[in-house]
Amino acid sequence: MSDFTGAGRSIQAVDRAVDILRILAGQPEGMTLSELSERVGLKPQTAQSLVRTLQMHGWVAQPGRGRPYLLGPDFVGLADRWLRGHGPEGSIRGILHAFSVRLREYVLLAELRGASLIPLHEEQFEQPLMVRGEFGAGSIYAMATGKMLLASLPVATREAIVRELPLQARGPNAATSAEALLAQLAQIARQGYAVCRGENAAHICALAVVVRRPLCSPPVALGISLPEVRLTAEKEKELLRQLKTVSKEIETAWGVA
């Protein structure tokens, strides 16, 4: 149940509707009405009335009769509209620019759309030996940001996408079988960060961590790319520390608790 602590009195039906949305936000595969009613602590008929009201507004959807309930398209659209006003082109541009200048390296913020990696914001630090972003078709499995986002997906969704990818040896260390890539993604999911060495191209390294977004939107990935010659074991630890710190800064700017 909601833990509303504002100065005014809350409306119980609204509290419960918010509880339903919060629960569904944490269940990408959805939940049945009986599961929802049990989680919220309501009788099934009461939960059904709330869910149907949310459906009328497009905030909850049911793909078919008897299927689990999911967050609806209008609710997700609301999150997207919020992010367009508070996303990388607004509240966090300065954070990313300062991060790139501090590191003197290429910085990328990207999201996953289907099986494609979409850049949301890039910062390029100009210097004689530098890395530029490359988003060729099917490169997601060879990029640290792409692998981080794949690893963040539910296991079944992750596997379905991986088995459709045209795996090729883009760099000398790129995974060329679904089994090898899935094993790597499972490890990334456990450790909470991704490191690529010579996967998208020879002598190029990349590191990435996940960044949570508000309003139940899918997460994005924050990454750094740099020449292999500049990535020592000690520097890798420091870059991962800084990536995690900046990830938290972005989440705070976006209002993520």
pLDDT digit string (tens) for 4-62?
A: 444 456 688 888 888 888 888 777 778 888 888 888 888 888 888 998 999 888 888 88
Please tell me the pTM assigned to this model. Answer: 0.67
Are 28 and 96 contained in the same domain? no
Residue 129 banded pLDDT, cuts 50, 70, 90: low
pLDDT value at 125 more than 60:
yes
- The larger pLDDT score, comparing residue 79 to residue 35, is at 35
Shared domain check, 26 and 102: no
Indicate whether 108 and 21 sit together in one domain.
no
Residue finishing a domain among 43, 71, 99: 71
Q: Does 122 share its domain with 85?
A: yes
What pLDDT, on the 0 to 100 scale, is given for residue 1?
A: 46
Residue 159: inside a domain = yes
Q: What percent of the chain shows pLDDT beyond 70?
A: 85
3-state secondary structure of 70: strand
Percent of the chain residues topping a pLDDT of 90: 40
State whether 103 and 21 are in the same domain. no
Report the pLDDT value the prediction gives residue 218, as an integer from 0 to 100.
84
Burial of 92 (C-beta count, 10 Å sphere; 0-12/13-18/19+): buried
User: What range defines the domain where residue 238 resides?
Assistant: 78-253
| 107 and 222 assigned to the same domain | yes
Total count of residues recorded for the chain = 257
Based on the fold, state whether residues 57 and 37 are members of the same structural domain.
yes
Measured CA to CA, the distance from residue 162 to residue 169 in angstroms comes to: 15
pLDDT of residue 66: 78
Is the same domain home to 165 and 183?
yes
- Structure token digits, residue 187: 């490890």
User: Taking the alpha carbons of 245, 250, 255, 257 in that order, is the dihedral positive or negative?
Assistant: negative
Residue 183 lies in a domain: yes
**Banded model confidence at residue 145, pLDDT cuts 50, 70, 90:** very high
Q: Look at residue 49 and tell me if it is in a domain.
A: yes
Enter the tokens of residue 15. Answer: 């509290």
Q: How many domains does the chain have?
A: 2
Query: Tens digit of pLDDT for each residue in 199-247?
Result: 988 889 999 999 998 876 789 999 999 999 999 999 999 999 999 999 9
CATH number at residue 19: 1.10.10.10
197 in the same domain as 90: yes
Separation CA 23–CA 38 (nearest Å) = 11
- Domain-embedded: residue 3: no
4: Cβ contacts below 8 Å, ≥ 6 apart? 10, 15
* Domain co-membership, 41 together with 167: no
Rounded Cα distance, 137 and 117, in Å: 9
Question: Is 130 a member of any domain?
Answer: yes
**Is 5 a member of any domain?**
no
List strand residue ranges (DSSP E) for 124-256, in order: 194-197, 204-211, 220-227
For residue 257, name the pLDDT band (cuts at 50, 70, 90): low
| pLDDT for the residue numbered 112 | 87
Same domain? 47 vs 151: no
In a domain, residue 4? The reply is no
Residues 28 and 101 in one domain: no
Q: Which alpha helices (H) appear in 41-72, and where do they start and end?
A: 44-56
In a domain, 6, yes or no: no
Encoding tokens for residue 31?
Answer: 């939940």
